[in-house]
Amino acid sequence: MKKSYRLIAFLILLSFLLLISCTKPEFNNPFDWDEIPIPQNLNFNYVNINTINIFWNYDYAGIDGFVLARKVGNGSWNDNYLTFSSDTYSHTESGLQVGESYYYRIRAYYCNYNSDYSNEILVSFNCVDIDGNEYQIVQIGNQIWMAENLKVTHYNNGDPIPHLTDDDDWISTTSGAYCVYNNEPSNADIYGNLYNWYAVEDPRGLAPEGWHVPEDEEIMELEMYLGMTYEEAHDTGWRGTNEGSKLAGNADLWTDGALENDPEFGSSGFDFLPGGYRYHGNGNFGHLGYYGYFWSATEYDTYDTWRRGLNYDGTQVYRFLNYKLFGFSVRCVRD
C-alpha cells in the first residue's frame, strides 16, 4: 500500500514539474501564449546542382527551437523532418535529385506548443519552360546552365511569341519573334529555336521560371572557369585557347574540323550545337552544321547586343556585337 502511495506521489510531482517546465517563456515581444510567433521569410538559394541553403528569420527569444517540414514531389509531408536549436536560422540541404521537386516549411516550438507554419517554398532541380519542354542541365563552376538550346514558343505569362516564317516580316519587326532554321519544324527538336534579341529582352519573360538569359559577364565567368584569362574573356573577336571545343557537343552535328578534333571537345557538358543563324538583312538562314551562336542579355546600344559564337574549324570562342534582328540560339543560366 505504501508503494502505491509513493508511486502516486511521484506521478503528481512529475506532472507538476512538467507543468512548470512549460510555463510561458520570457519573449522579447508581447503576444498571446496560444500564438507562438511564426518564423518569417523562409527562403533558399542554390549552392550547386544538388545542394541548397535554406534560411529564415525569427525576432523572438525564449523558444526551444524550430522544426523543418519537407515534402518530396506529390508525396506526404514529413512534419518532423529536421529539428534546430533556437539560435539556428539556416540549414544546408544536400543530396537533392535533378528532376525532383522539394517543398519546405518551418515552425517554431516550445515544449509541446507549436507555432503555425511559415510560408512554403518550392525547390526544383529541373528546368521546364511554360510549354512543358524539359531541358538537361549541367553545373560548370558555380553556375548551373541549360545543356540544350531553348525552344519555348510562349512567354512566361502565356502570350505566344510571334513565329515569323516570312523573310520580310523577320527583317522588319521590332518586337520579339522566333523561327526555326529553314522553317523546318524538325530542326527545333535538335537545335531549338532561333530568337531575335527583342524576345530576349521582353519583360514577359523568355527563360523558364527560375532561369534567365545570361548577361555578358556571366558568360565570361563560364569562359574563365574553362580556362580563359580575365583579359581574354573581356576582349572581342576570337578569344582563349580551346574553350570553344569544351563548350561544344554532339560531334555528329558539327562539320569535321578543329573544333571537334580537339581532345577536350564536349568536356564541359554544355553541349552547344551548330544551330546556325537567321540574317537580319534579308531573313536568310545560314551556317547550320558549321557555326553556333547564342545571345547574351547585355545590350550595347540601340542596335547591337553582345553574343557568342563557335566555329567548326576553330577551338576558340567568338565575342562580338550583332544587330538585334539576327536570329540566334538561346541558352539560360539558373538564377
Average pLDDT, the chain: 91
The amino acid occupying position 14 is L
74-85 per-position pLDDT tens digit = 999 999 999 999
The pLDDT tens digits of the residues spanning 261-286 come to 999 999 999 999 999 999 999 999 99
How far is C-alpha 188 from the chain's CA centre? 22
pLDDT band, residue 14 (cuts 50/70/90): low
Compute the distance between CA of residue 284 and CA of residue 278 in angstroms, rounded to an integer.
Answer: 6
Residue type, 234: H
Query: What is the reported pLDDT for 299?
Result: 96
Write phi, then psi, for 35 (nearest 5 degrees).
-130, 80
Of 212, 82, 75, nearest to 146 (Cα)? 212
Residues 332 and 207 sit within 8 Å (Cβ to Cβ) = yes
pLDDT value for 335: 86
Q: Is 11 exposed, middle or buried (0-12, 13-18, 19+ CB in 10 A)?
A: exposed
Q: Which one, of 296, 292, 278, lies nearest residue 200 by Cα?
A: 296
Residues 6+ apart with CB under 8 A from 278: 170, 179, 181, 194, 284, 285, 286, 326, 327
The pLDDT, as a whole number, for residue 125 is 77
240 torsion bin: left (phi>0), alpha (psi -120 to 50), beta (else):
left
Task: Classify burial at 329, counting beta carbons within 10 Å of its beta carbon; exposed 0-12, middle 13-18, buried 19 or more.
Answer: buried
Average pLDDT over residues 38-61: 92
Q: Which of 30-34, 155-159, 163-167, 253-257 comes out lowest in average pLDDT? A: 30-34
pTM above 0.85, yes or no: no
Residue 34 is predicted with a pLDDT of: 61
What's the per-residue H, E or C state across the chain? CHHHHHHHHHHHHHHHHHHHHCCCCCCCCCCCCCCCCCCEEEEEEEEECCEEEEEEECCCCCCCEEEEEEEECCCCCEEEEEEEECCCCEEEECCCCCCCEEEEEEEEEECCEECCCCCCEEEECCEECCCCCEECEEEECCEEEECCCCCCCECCCCCECCECCCHHHHHHCCCCCEECHHHCCHHHHHHCCEECHHHHHCCCCCCCCCEECCCHHHHHHHHHHCCCCHHHHCCCEEECCCHHHHHECCHHHCCCCHHHHCCCCCCCCCCECCCEEECCCCCCEECCCCEEEEEEEEECCCCEEEEEEEECCCCCEEEEEEECCCEEECCCEEC
pLDDT tens track for 287-300: 999 999 999 999 99
Q: Would you state the pLDDT for residue 26?
A: 54
In the Cβ-directed half-sphere of 236, how many Cα atoms lie within 13 Å? 6
Residue 259 has pLDDT above 90, yes or no: yes
* Through-space distance between the first and last CA atoms of the chain, rounded to whole angstroms: 72
Domains and CATH numbers, the chain: 40-124 (2.60.40.10), 127-334 (no CATH)
Asked whether residue 100 carries a pLDDT value surpassing 90, the answer given is no
Are 197 and 297 in contact, with CB atoms under 8 Å apart? no
Backbone angles phi, psi at 33, to 5 degrees: -55, -30
- Average pLDDT for residues 8-23, to the nearest whole number? 52
Residue 20 has pLDDT above 50, yes or no: no
- Measuring CA to CA, which residue among 50, 335, 332 is closest to residue 219? 332
